[in-house]
Amino acid sequence: MTNPEKMQAILDKIKAYPRIMIFRHIRPDGDCFGASKGLKAMLQATYPEKEIILTDDAQTDYLKFLGPDDAPVADEVYASALGIVVDTGGVKRISNPKFALCKEVIKIDHHIESEPYGVISWVEEHRSSACEMIVAFYDMFKDELKMTPEAAMYLYTGMVTDSGRFRFEGVTGDTLRYAALLLDQGIDTQTLYAHLYLKEFNELKFQSYVLEHMERTENGVATIYVSDEIQKQFGLTREAASTSVSFLEGIKGCICWLAFIDNGDESHSIRVRVRSRFVETNGLAEHYHGGGHAMASGATVYSVEEMRQMIDEADAFIKEYKESHTGWL
């Protein structure tokens, strides 16, 4: 099936089911929150007679302003439902494992396709966000579907956050046209940006710690390791500690940057956030139990030694890239 055919098939399934359950990934970010809540709001406005359920325990501090999800439901409820999973590359990353109880499952995602699942797998890797795909879906069927200011706000949140405020490589003319379509609904962007981007005092102090302690390898990989102890010292949630990756961005010559965040668990796992410009680094993440996008991916290492090994591998990879390419900055 081509993608327009898949979109039509998804709409047909949505129309056919009286109950639809929406799922997203673990460690929810703005895009999976926005896509799941936006899709729910849009479908509920379009089909008031249908039951659209989004139940998920996992929350993320900086997205709490988007409001809670539905209360958990009994297992029997899943059995008759169409499940739609948004923004999630593989089944292991779906936050609610009960998605498997659904009668049929549909995947809507923009990550590099590593694992198709579901009766329809609609994946567009070039899209800057899953929210952009939901808006494209709306745009294709706008005679049938209803957009609301609430749905627009959720979807815009995902578009803004996953595209780095419309700066990342995946941003196209379509991205801005779809964003415009959402803004036309009347979004209070000042309040939205205040929720998304204002920082707590201790978080800014932490930023200065990261700038002070970051390192760079010979060939231009910027790194920071944020131990459990440091996270406690600054009173940070894991999520707040994980934002350290963004402080490493923007160093001339450092075209790859890695933030290692201690998970503080028994297996001594360390979350790795992998970012780059010009060069695709998702292969590096895949070597360390991870994956994601070409220039924004995630991985896990299980010791400080493995962290060093990953840094060395990144450095060698960047060396080779720089030697064989021009135009990087």
Residues forming the site for ligand AMP (CB under 6 A): 25, 89, 111, 273, 289-293, 296-299
Q: How near is the Cβ of 285 to ligand AMP at its closest, in Å?
A: 7
Minimum distance from CB of 286 to ligand AMP (Å)? 8
Helix, strand or coil for residue 318? helix
Closest CA to 222 of 203, 245, 188, 204: 245
- What tokens were used for 98? 């009960």
Instruction: Report which secondary-structure segment, H or E, holds 130.
Output: helix 130-140
Closer Cβ to ligand AMP, 19 or 293, answer by number: 293
Label residue 244 left, alpha or beta by phi (over 0 means left) and psi (-120 to 50 means alpha): alpha
- Pick the closer one to ligand AMP by CB: 36 or 297: 297
Smallest CA-to-CA distance from 248 within 204, 274, 199, 211 is with: 211
Whose tokens are 């390898």? That residue is 217
Q: Name the minimum Å distance from CB 103 to ligand AMP.
A: 26
Give the nearer residue to ligand AMP in terms of CB position, either 199 or 289. 289
Nearer to ligand AMP, 19 or 111 (CB): 111
Cβ pair 222, 214 in contact under 8 A: yes
CA 307: distance to chain centroid? 23
Residue with Cβ nearer ligand AMP (77 or 112): 112
To ligand AMP, the closest distance from the beta carbon of 89 in angstroms equals: 5
CB of 293 vs ligand AMP, minimal distance in Å: 6
Our measurement of the distance from residue 176's CA atom to the centroid of its chain's CA atoms, rounded to an integer in Å, reads: 19
